[in-house]
Structure 1
Amino acid sequence: MKKESYSLVLKELLNFSQIKYAALSHAIGYDLSYVSKWTTGIRLPAAKNVDRINQEIARFLSEIIIKQNNLEAFAEHFLGRESIEQENVAFEIYQSLSCAYRSSLECKKGVSISNITDDKIVLGKAECFAFLQKIIKEKLEESTVPPTIIITGEFFNLAKNHFWQIFYDIKLNHWPCDIHVFLDLSELEKGAIGAAEILFQCLNDLLNYDFTIYEKKSNAYNNIIAINNEFVIFYSVNAAGEIEICTSSADLKQAHSVYTKCKQFMASQPVILEPKQTLGMTRFGFRDQFYASQKFFFFCVNGFEFLLPDEVFNSMIEKAKVGNLGMADVEWVQRVQNLFKNLLEKVPLRFMLPTNSIVRYLETGNINLTDFPYQMTIEERKLHIKHVLKLIQSNPNITFGVLLPTTEKYSGTNFINLSFNTSYSTGFLKKNIQLIHPDTLPIYFIKNTMLLNSFQAYFDNLTKSKHYKEYTAKELEELYKKYYFLIEFLFKE
């Protein structure tokens, strides 16, 4: 519905349903003089009673509209669509009245936060952030089940309000924690490289959360945060996109209704980023589609799983035979080995590795072969280095670059735990398995071309950074000889 004042929305609803003020007064149990002042804008309902008043108005008017068989007209006039289910009418009216109430409060002069905090209505940017931080932290840490958060606001607008920082210090007792949120692709397009960096940094910083991101194509059910079925927060933003008004409700019936409606609505929208457990074991699934390309870029921060020598694959096969390689069986390992040997050693490849990630790999030997963890022995790591140098010399299409350390404000070159793999038509992000809870999903499928292109542009831009350096095969061999002593030191057990 339209964002208007409370009086205009209420008056428009009454006119549409052809209900007199007296009839509404009788239905909700309020004196006619109160209803009259609400519709003229002289007064607003009291903050402590407004939620119940809006629910009663919504229930009464929805029953009238349904009896009048005016569902299609209601949907067209107020929602801008062709139809609406009967059970959704009351919620839409309630949501419209609640939003209008918050809008009217925003415009009203002289409202003091000290007078309304007890009624769970908060005004002011700083006050709203503190309120959201306190409520979300409490609800997530007190949750007795793995929490799910439905957020109908827009990702970049929330980032602008520092919303995602709220999750940095939360200590959950139950995992996984699912976050569902919208993202406006036009904001991504406008922000280009900068917007992609904000998104990537957030996903990297909040590695232990599973984000499902939907394309924002509508303002329906806007600016709601629902936590499981237990709590709901409504917020509004000013013209600059700043969160300045928050209201909340712990009423279980209402929270359940809002959570369910928002979840159903989000499920009908396009998913652009989706968490997954695995790339898939089946033939011709996502994994095979990804490698059906002739050009690749790999931003590797969780070890270096590519260009592995046969000795490593043989060791994996032996582990798979006795069930020590997760879900991977012998056939899967052999298929990946043949895939890498026949494709990745011949086509154009660009690898980008932060230097601190290289050191971590040399020290620990931890890699994730596509999506399964494996720890290489010291001898296997030595063989790997020599094998990589040999292949780079034989394949001039392999580009190997590193991101050097920096003390500047986050630039994408500080310690990172989220890899990015792209075939320029398909892509995915991969978390560091050693750093996440076992119940957290380790992979994100990128399911939107614009999002994939934005990530690609961000990493392409990093290659122009003063902190990035590409090496020829000869330069890498010289570096290996120069720092051989250091590599041997890292290999000491």
Structure 2
Amino acid sequence: MVSEEYAVILKKLITITETKNLVLANITGYDVSYISKWVNGVKLPATKYIEQINEKLAKCFAEAVITSGRTDELSVLFAVPVTRETAEFEILQQLSAAYRFSMKHHGRHRQEASVPAKVITGNHDAFLFMNTVFKEKMRNAKEGSNLLILGDFCTLLDIDFWKFLEFPNETAPHITIHVGIDLEKLSRDTKYTEQLYIILGRYLNYEFKLYHSDVLKQGNTIIMENEFVIQYSLQSEHSIGICTYISDTALVQDIYNRFYVSFANQQAALAPVKTLGIEDIGFRTAFYSSDKYFFFLTNGVDFLLPTQAVSEFLAEIKASKQVTRQIGQLQIMWDEMMASGEVEFMLPMTSIIRYIETGYMFFTDKEFKMKAPYRKMHLQHALDIMEKNPKITVGVIQASMEMSEYQVTNLSFYSNYTAAFFKKNPQYIRESVCPFYVVANKKLVECFHTFFRQVKQMPMYHHYAYTDIRQKYEQYKGFVERTIDLYEDA
């Protein structure tokens, strides 16, 4: 009679066959972290799956024993005669008996969760249940986890799903949210694009990946890696009719693995990236090869910089010769763009004030705080360039209750009307979070432009050409420069 723990038998079989945990993970279809828990006695496999798990393990170990000619060692280990023909059977018997022994002596508290699926009906109850689940699971989510949403961003917006993810930015977990998006629906109503921008800017520590795919936007399934699966049905009035909740660890992981492949095989319309690169043939080089641009800047004005400010930046980051050369080339491209290109800037008033007071900007891929003398020089330099190129214009969103989301946002938008990217304010994200989103789908780029054109129709938006800016500058120059000096000394 076997009187050894399941973990002990597993370790002995792994040792005698010299089998890696990764091999067992591939054989059983479980993540290697689960195999490690079984081997170390932290958890036991779920009872409902133990038979098939043990059968796969027995076959794997038996093949290894037979191939290496170690049936005699196995006989000693099990204290029963083992031959090539009986190896798989004997291993299966030992694993099954060890599992029963562990369950009997340690109870079910060490078993992997195997809770039956819960079914919740009615929009009110389903909404409350999903809200509770997300608040609990997201609060304790492992850094870098994935949330797979087989549903359409716009439809989920209609049922108020995105409220489930609301956490204070400083406590929000760093997770990647994969979700489908119906670009046709997005293009028909700018409210969806507006809310998409607001959500991207509000949830800075989340990383969104959006996919324009019929397969990924109609599944009505939400999968939180290692946590749960929720399937839901929608009623015609944009409400949830019924939802099913699954928390069985093994089943959740199996569903996750199957559907993660569906996302991995699709090109994202919007994806987070750690850096845009400043290489000779990098993203920025291609991006700044156009002749028409739109920039919505919320984190400082990282264009029209005087040469002295760029030199200070390079000295501050201790740039290598290669980086100095690459930024120099980028600066040349920007100078050419500003000399003859059509460039439209849009800035919230709070962004302008914040820059005047702090000098903070996210320049290329680095944070930079420009000193007071260079900030004054920057303003004058920008005016000089605008005077030479009348195709440079500036729009300002005045502070108001109606436009409050745009005053507090920390997500800038850069577009050449074919490609685009977003830039987060690094002061409000974790170091591990990607500070950029690349918009790789032209239709999605067009949707964002349609949204910003709508912003320009708001009464709080004011558009300025060079003469208007010059007049404002002369009117407020003294106040601006005193403010710069005041905060520089603070």
User: Normalising by the residue count of structure 1, what TM-score does the alignment of the two structures yield?
Assistant: 0.71
Aligned residues of 2:181 and 2:210 also touching (Cα < 8 A): yes
8 Å CA contact 2:420, 2:439 repeated in 1: yes
Q: Partner letter of residue 307 of structure 1?
A: L
SS in 1 for 2:174: coil
**Gapped runs of 5+ residues in structure 2?**
1-46, 50-114
**Among candidates 313, 325, 328, match of residue 310 of structure 2:** 313
Query: Residue in 2 aligned with 1:20?
Result: none
Q: 1:204 to 1:220 in 2, by over 3 A?
A: closer
Q: Report the Cα offset of residue 147 of structure 1.
A: 2.3
Letter in 2 for 1:487: V
In structure 2, what is the equivalent of residue 431 of structure 1?
A: 424
- Secondary structure of 2:279's counterpart equals coil
Tell me the amino acid that sits aligned with residue 125 of structure 2. Answer: E
Looking at structure 2, the residues matched to 435 and 220 of structure 1 have their Cα atoms a distance apart, in angstroms, of: 30
Specify the alignment match of 2:411 in structure 1.
418
Greater Cα offset, 382-391 or 329-338: 329-338
CA distance in 2, matches of 1:458, 1:330: 37
For the 8 Å contact 1:404–1:413, the answer to whether it is kept is: no
How far apart are the structure 2 equivalents of 1:220 and 1:196?
16
**Alignment match of 1:291 (pick from 282, 288, 291):** 288
Count how many residue pairs are aligned between Structure 1 and Structure 2.
375
Q: What amino acid does structure 2 have at the position aligned with 1:178?
A: T
1:126: how far off? 2.3
| Matching residue of 2:99 | none
Which of 146, 161, 164 is the matching residue for 2:162? 164
RMSD of aligned C-alpha atoms?
2.5
Q: Deviations over 1:246-298 (max 9, x none)?
A: 22111111100111111111222231001011112322221111001011111
- Once the two structures are TM-superposed, the CA of residue 201 in structure 1 deviates from its matched residue by 1.3
Within 2, Cα distance between the matches of 1:307 and 1:339?
Answer: 12
Q: 1:345: how far off?
A: 2.9
SS in 1 for 2:407: coil
Q: CA deviation at 1:142?
A: 2.0
Q: What residue in structure 2 maps to residue 473 of structure 1? A: 466
Which residue number in structure 1 is paired with residue 397 of structure 2? 403
Alignment of 1:110-125 (within 5 A): 120-125=118-123
- Give the equivalent residue in structure 2 for 1:454: 447
Contact kept in structure 1, 2:172 and 2:206, CA below 8 Å: no
Task: Please say if 1:357 is aligned against 2:351.
Answer: yes
- Cα shift at 1:474: 2.3
Q: Is the 8 A contact 2:424 2:436 kept in 1?
A: yes
Residues 1:484 and 2:477 aligned together = yes
How far apart in 2 are the matches of 1:219 and 1:451?
17
C-alpha separation in 2, matches of 1:275 and 1:253: 29
**Are positions 1:245 and 2:237 aligned together?**
no
SS in 2 for 1:302: coil
Q: Compared with structure 1, are the counterparts of its residues 395 and 322 closer, same or farther at alpha carbon in structure 2 (3 Å cutoff)?
A: closer
* Per-residue deviation, 1:365: 0.7
What amino acid is aligned across from residue 255 of structure 2 in structure 1? V
Note the alpha carbon deviations across 1:9-50, whole angstroms, 9 max, x for none. Answer: xxxxxxxxxxxxxxxxxxxxxxxxxxxxxxxxxxxxxxxxxx
Alpha carbons 2:151, 2:219 under 8 Å: kept? yes
Given that residues 277 and 441 in structure 1 are in contact (C-alpha distance below 8 angstroms), is that contact kept between their aligned partners in structure 2? Answer: yes
SS of the residue corresponding to residue 393 of structure 2 reads strand
Instruction: Flag the 1:174–1:147 CA change in 2: closer, same or farther, 3 A.
Output: farther
Q: Distance in 1 between matches of 2:172 and 2:299?
A: 25
Give the SS at the match of 2:205: coil
Secondary structure class of the residue paired with 2:177: strand
Aligned partner letter, 2:430: H
**1:370 CA displacement:** 3.3
Amino acid at match of 1:314: S
Letter in 2 for 1:156: C
Instruction: Give the structure-2-normalised TM-score.
Output: 0.72
Partner of 2:22: none
Q: Distance in 2 between matches of 1:286 and 1:353?
A: 24
Cα distance, 1:371–1:456 mapped onto 2, change above 3 Å: farther
Q: 2:182 — aligned with what?
A: 184
Deviation at 1:481, TM superposition (A): 2.3
Q: Quote the offset at 1:176 in angstroms.
A: 2.6
Q: Please identify the structure whose Cα radius of gyration is greater.
A: 2
Structure-1 separation of matches of 2:373 and 2:218: 57
> Is 1:128 aligned with 2:121?
no
Q: Distance in 2 between matches of 1:165 and 1:470?
A: 34
Secondary structure of the equivalent of 1:374? strand
Q: CA deviation at 1:460?
A: 1.9
Alignment of structure 1 residues 7-86 onto 2, 5 Å:
none
Indicate the residue corresponding to 1:341 in structure 2. 335
Q: Which amino acid aligns with 1:185?
A: L
The Cα of 1:406 is off from its aligned counterpart by 1.4
- Conserved? CA contact 2:177–2:209, under 8 Å: yes
Match of 2:279 among 279, 282, 298: 282
Moved more, 266-275 or 470-479: 470-479
Classify the secondary structure of the residue corresponding to 1:329: helix
Secondary structure, aligned partner of 1:441: coil
In structure 2, the partner of 1:109 is none
Asked whether the 8 Å contact 2:347–2:396 carries over to 1, the reply is yes
Is 1:272 the counterpart of 2:266? The answer is no
Give the structure 2 partner of residue 16 of structure 1.
none
Alpha-carbon contact 2:180-2:217 (below 8 Å) kept: no
Is the contact made by 2:272 and 2:435 (CA closer than 8 Å) also made in structure 1? yes
Equivalent residue, structure 1, for 2:437: 444
For structure 1, the residue ranges without an aligned partner over 5 or more in a row are: 1-51, 56-116
Give distance in 1, aligned partners of 2:423 and 2:135.
Answer: 26
2:336 and 2:185 map into 1 onto residues whose CA distance is: 40
| Cα gap change, 1:328 to 1:252, in 2 (>3 Å) | farther
> Deviations for 1:306-359, whole angstroms, at most 9, x for unmatched residues?
100011111122234467xxx982122212221212223321111111111100
Which residue number in structure 2 is paired with residue 377 of structure 1?
371
Secondary structure at the residue paired with 1:180?
strand
Q: Map Cα deviations across residues 229-260 of structure 1 (whole Å, 9 max, x no partner).
A: 23211111112332231221111111001111
Residue 212 (1) aligns with residue 209 (2): yes
Amino acid at match of 1:180: H
Q: Shift in Å at residue 453 of structure 1?
A: 0.5
- Find the aligned partners of 1:464 and 1:381 in 2 and give their Cα distance: 31
State the one-letter code of the partner of 2:461: Y
Q: Name the counterpart of 1:194.
A: 191
1:420–1:152 CA distance, 2 compared to 1 (3 A): same
How far the C-alpha of 1:484 sits from its partner, in A, is: 2.5
Residue 22 of structure 1: aligned partner: none
Of the three residues 463, 470, 488, the one matched with 2:456 is 463
